[in-house]
Amino acid sequence: MAVLCKPAIEVPEYVITNEETLELARRLHGDHPQLGLALRLIENTGVRKRHLIQPIEKVLQHPGVDARSATYEEHTKARVPAVVRRALEQAGLEPQQIDVIIYVSCTGFMMPPPTAWLIDTMGFRPETRQVPIAQLGCAAGGAAINRAHDFCTAYPDGNALIIACEFCSLCYQPTDLGVGSLLSNGLFGDGIAAAVVRGDDCATGVRLERNGSYIIPGTEEWISYAVRSTGFHFQLDKRVPGTMEPLAPALQALAEQHQWNAGKMDFYIIHAGGPRILDDLSRFLDVPHEAFRFSRATLTEYGNIASAVVLDALARMFDEGSALEGHRGLMAGFGPGITAEMSLGTWISESESQS
């Protein structure tokens, strides 16, 4: 069975704290009629700091879509290879042993996709398959895990590389003054994550066993991009924080298909879209607050890093060392649609898998 190995994570060097974000909002939007509400929402995100690929002074500028696209490509090529190398090392593989690269990002665009450049420059085989995913937003981290699982199910000896590259700061739009946009300006951060799914299960990690997707009907416009001449304009409906009530049954249904109980897992790796998402899911699944500690830590230290959140939360569980052989877990990413990408897995150690 396929095993999801320890992810590698990188956040960029420029940091903005929540206090600095609040002060910036006061300075830039002092006459905004709903500034008080926006400030309260930002304060309640639980985010302590975020990391950016550029100094905040540059982030606040909008040099045009062409310049932003060039910045996206420049930083992708400069930053992604080191994260990929660490992910491969942690999985005990070389580039030549990877059969498919699944690259997810919703904050920039390249064609050919970054997978082509990586294959050409990092020693992957020319036959390596490419699966770039650009339109699933924050759910794409979960989707990448699921597509890697599907691939390794179809090709049991195959190995998949997952890459999530999100530079959310490149989507800042100075003219977007809705409360949802102001909140987003204080919530999202930049980050890169990569992980390997090994088809031979000769690794320590999460043995992937079942996955599924679910879309809440009638919510297509709740999380979206308006694509304009100035680039991507993020649109967030005020009803989004309440989506865990209809999504919790989908998680429960997936677990029941596997004869598991979604409220009785040993570990949870959940997309940290915001604190209410985690609080509500904890309540609807009837699991303790502590169960989502990895996701809360990602939100606190990095903000919402979009598709990379799930992989970062998983890396934190590896670092904590609390997972034991046979522990059962649930992973889920949430994003536009409103979509849930869900998976179930069991913790396995390399020594046990080879015995």
Kindly list the catalytic residues. Answer: 138
Burial code (b: 16+ CB inside 10 Å, e: under 16) for 325-340 equals eebbbbbbbbbbbbbb
Burial code (b: 16+ CB inside 10 Å, e: under 16) for 189-219 equals bbbbbbbbbbbebebbbbbbbebbbbebeeb
Phi, psi of 89, deg, nearest 5: -60, -45
- CA 252, 327, 350, 129: dihedral to nearest 10 degrees? 10
Collect all residues with Cβ–Cβ distance below 8 Å to 69 and sequence separation of at least 6. 108, 109, 110
Closest CA to 117 of 147, 78, 158, 148: 78
Query: At CA 128, angle to CA 125 and CA 131, rounded to 5?
Result: 150
Question: Which stretch of DSSP H or E encloses residue 191?
Answer: strand 190-198
Half-sphere exposure of residue 22: CA atoms within 13 angstroms, side-chain side = 16
Question: Which stretch of DSSP H or E encloses residue 133?
Answer: strand 129-133
Burial code (b: 16+ CB inside 10 Å, e: under 16) for 85-121 equals ebbbebbebebebbbbbbbbbbbbbbeebbbbbbbee
User: What is the distance, to the nearest Å, from the Cα of residue 8 to the centroid of all Cα atoms in its chain?
Assistant: 13
Query: At CA 258, angle to CA 349 and CA 270, rounded to 5?
Result: 65
DSSP for 266-326, written as a single string: SEEEE--S-HHHHHHHHHHHT--GGGGHHHHHHHHHH-B-GGGHHHHHHHHHHHHT---TT
Alpha-carbon distance of 347 to 303, in angstroms, equals 27
